[in-house]
Chains A and B, each alone.
Chain A
């Protein structure tokens, strides 16, 4: 009898001294970044995919979690990977991208790949309108159903391991995290690759463009992919994403003066 949803297990693929720390998004699970992890492991990198606290179990667990718990889960993964890796890259999807970039402020990272990353709550009228009342509303309506899935590759959507609803109480937690994120951007100096889909139906292009504009990093780039919705690590254009991510790692390793 397992608490984790089948397929939501965190994973560790040990290999070389270069480590990639992979973080999934809001209401999702490590499954979301597993194929990316396998791709990076094939390139000879060590990969660790964390499970954010409250995710991949039951919705009520996530309703109890706070953004600090999610950040702590990423810190945990970093320290595990540090046990075997000298050089660490952080990569995350959506909220995982926010957490990966924030991690660069407290830990030494060689680079961050931030995918389909929002800078604030998505521009859904209901969310924006209700934002100030979400905490009390969360007590009355613990969960809010997700809209119909919208994938370019429906099989990838069907294989998804995630909650099928939003825990309302966790939405203002994301908003708090995003506000910190926006404030912190000018103080982030790590090399960054942002990847976003032109057809992202959830987080519009203005979000990564604003992140790119405000990042303090001297080395920063926004790469666009085509033919995917929000979950670009799983949807139809995932191979483009994998290639971009591993090319970024190769480039940083070549440029860095250290070992490797």
Chain B
């Protein structure tokens, strides 16, 4: 029925989130993991990790950062405070089901996890491939990025892929472009994170990879040094590209995060 097909087509246009762009909640125990994806990614990046944590008896909440998993133009309007508020939202939702919350993030999500770990009463924090700073060109261009964004809206990444698992790469959900305006916000959020590091008290786990083509793993050492927590650890993977919870060594990442969550739960982290 063409009439019905037309109605269905219009209904589909009304769905704002892209296919497989949905956030998720996997119920489990009293320890909740708040999973924060990267830039310009989607909750899907964290879903396999969430499934694993659910199987291990943890509650997992995958949030969607403002401007992500809808349309790249929405990300142009995003500011770092929107993303910080998104993490706060997730914290309050998760606290409805859990006694304690661990923030777990990838890349920008990792920087957000560290930033918010200094602002929220969390039981632990895991940052995967979190940047300490942007590449020097982006750092230098920061003051003019908002103006530049008026004429150059989207940057098309030209870096060669660092994925080891090509099948997983094909399944990943992210925008094919980076809004230039949003890069300025990523920059500012990372600056916020640097200022927050000494104030973090919760146990911290950092995971980086030597194969990461986006964030050099040496940046993890600087973060490790500056995190205020007494209990802190950095684990270095060998081969994975930037997307640690999806790429080749993901099983190792799952075990590391679940093991950390177990220690936090038992008070032995």
Chain A residues with CB under 8 A of B89: 4, 9-10, 51
Q: Does A98 contact B (CB under 8 A)?
A: no
Chain A residues with CB under 8 A of B61: 80
Chain B residues with CB under 8 A of A57: 81, 85
- Whether the pair A79, B22 counts as a contact (CB closer than 8 A) is yes
Chain A residues with CB under 8 A of B64: 72, 76
- Whether the pair B16, A184 counts as a contact (CB closer than 8 A) is no
Chain B residues with CB under 8 A of A132: none
- Whether the pair B92, A9 counts as a contact (CB closer than 8 A) is yes
Chain B residues with CB under 8 A of A1: 119
Q: Does A128 contact B (CB under 8 A)?
A: no
Q: Scan residues 55-75 of chain A and give those whose CB is less than 8 A from a CB of chain B.
A: 57-58, 61, 64-66, 68-69, 71-72, 75
Q: Does A145 contact B (CB under 8 A)?
A: no
Q: Scan residues 86-128 of chain B and give those whose CB is less than 8 A from a CB of chain A.
A: 88-89, 92-97, 119
CA distance A4 to B61 in the complex (A): 19
Given the known interface contacts A1-B119, A48-B93, A79-B22, the answer about A72 and B85 at a Cβ–Cβ threshold of 8 Å is no
Instruction: Count contacts on A: residues with CB < 8 A to the other chain.
Output: 38
- Whether the pair A12, B23 counts as a contact (CB closer than 8 A) is no
- Whether the pair A13, B25 counts as a contact (CB closer than 8 A) is no
Q: Does A146 contact B (CB under 8 A)?
A: no
| Minimum CB distance partner of B118 in chain A | A1
Chain A residues with CB under 8 A of B79: 61, 64
Q: Scan residues 1-46 of chain B and give those whose CB is less than 8 A from a CB of chain A.
A: 7, 10-12, 14-17, 22-27
Q: Does A255 contact B (CB under 8 A)?
A: no
Chain B residues with CB under 8 A of A256: none
Q: Write the nearest CB–CB distance from B150 to chain A, whole angstroms.
A: 15
Q: Does A2 contact B (CB under 8 A)?
A: yes
Chain A residues with CB under 8 A of B97: 12, 14
CA distance A3 to B24 in the complex (A): 23
Instruction: Count contacts on B: residues with CB < 8 A to the other chain.
Output: 36
Among A4, A58, A80, point to the contact of B23 (Cβ < 8 A). Answer: A80
Chain A residues with CB under 8 A of B165: none
CA distance A106 to B19 in the complex (A): 12
Chain B residues with CB under 8 A of A72: 16-17, 64, 70
| Minimum CB distance partner of A48 in chain B | B93
- Whether the pair A84, B11 counts as a contact (CB closer than 8 A) is no
- Whether the pair A79, B12 counts as a contact (CB closer than 8 A) is no
CA distance A76 to B16 in the complex (A): 10
Q: Write the nearest CB–CB distance from A140 to chain B, whole angstroms.
A: 20
Chain A residues with CB under 8 A of B94: 12
Chain B residues with CB under 8 A of A10: 89, 92-93
Among B16, B93, B95, B119, point to the contact of A68 (Cβ < 8 A). Answer: B16
Q: Write the nearest CB–CB distance from B2 to chain A, whole angstroms.
A: 15
CA distance A66 to B70 in the complex (A): 12
Among B7, B12, B15, B71, point to the contact of A75 (Cβ < 8 A). Answer: B15
CA distance A71 to B16 in the complex (A): 7
Chain B residues with CB under 8 A of A68: 16, 70-71, 74
Q: Does B155 contact A (CB under 8 A)?
A: no
Q: Scan residues 166-215 of chain A and give those whose CB is less than 8 A from a CB of chain B.
A: 180, 184, 187
Chain B residues with CB under 8 A of A84: 25, 27
Q: Does B66 contact A (CB under 8 A)?
A: yes
Given the known interface contacts A12-B96, A57-B81, the answer about A102 and B14 at a Cβ–Cβ threshold of 8 Å is yes
Q: Does A254 contact B (CB under 8 A)?
A: no
Among A53, A75, A79, point to the contact of B66 (Cβ < 8 A). Answer: A53
- Whether the pair A64, B24 counts as a contact (CB closer than 8 A) is no
Q: Does B77 contact A (CB under 8 A)?
A: yes
Q: Write the nearest CB–CB distance from A201 to chain B, whole angstroms.
A: 31
Q: Scan residues 157-205 of chain B and give those whose CB is less than 8 A from a CB of chain A.
A: none
Q: Which of A2, A54, A80 has the most CB of B within 10 A?
A: A80
Q: Write the nearest CB–CB distance from B246 to chain A, whole angstroms.
A: 20
Given the known interface contacts A4-B88, A10-B93, A64-B77, the answer about A83 and B16 at a Cβ–Cβ threshold of 8 Å is no
Interface of B with A (CB < 8 Å)? 7, 10-12, 14-17, 22-27, 61, 63-64, 66, 70-71, 74, 77, 79, 81-82, 84-85, 88-89, 92-97, 119
A-B contact list, 21 entries, CB within 8 Å: A1-B119, A3-B85, A4-B85, A4-B88, A9-B88, A9-B89, A10-B92, A10-B93, A11-B92, A12-B92, A53-B82, A58-B81, A61-B81, A69-B74, A75-B15, A76-B63, A79-B25, A80-B24, A81-B25, A84-B25, A106-B14
Known: A9-B89, A83-B27, A106-B15. 20 other contacts (CB 8 A): A3-B85, A4-B85, A9-B92, A10-B89, A10-B93, A11-B92, A53-B66, A57-B85, A66-B77, A68-B71, A68-B74, A72-B16, A72-B70, A75-B15, A76-B17, A79-B17, A79-B25, A80-B25, A106-B14, A184-B14
Top 5 closest A-B pairs, CB basis? A12-B96, A83-B25, A9-B92, A79-B22, A72-B16
